[in-house]
Amino acid sequence: MDRNLSRGAVRKLLTDHAEYGGWELTRLRRYRDGTRDVWIRRKIIKVRSTLEPPTFDRTS
């Protein structure tokens, strides 16, 4: 990321990625010279099937 970007601009950019792209912030590193490294990853959304309800064996 460009070091000339303000903190608010960086936050807006990362928020947009997270909200619209399904990403989440993994790591943010800021160096002494003002540059930043940002790691983002795809958010994993676990989906349960709703096609068949689970059956419970009540014989035991």
Cβ atoms of residues 45 and 24 within 8 Å: no
Tell me if 55 is assigned to some domain. Answer: no
Domain count along the chain = 1
pTM above 0.85, yes or no: no
Residue 44 has pLDDT above 70, yes or no: yes
Tell me if 35 is assigned to some domain. Answer: yes
Residue 24 has pLDDT above 60, yes or no: yes
Mean pLDDT of 15-24: 79
Check residue 54 and give its pLDDT: 63
In whole angstroms, how far apart are CA 50 and each of 8, 29, 54? Answer: 41, 41, 9
Tell me if 16 is assigned to some domain. Answer: yes
The range of the structural domain enclosing residue 38 comes to 7-42
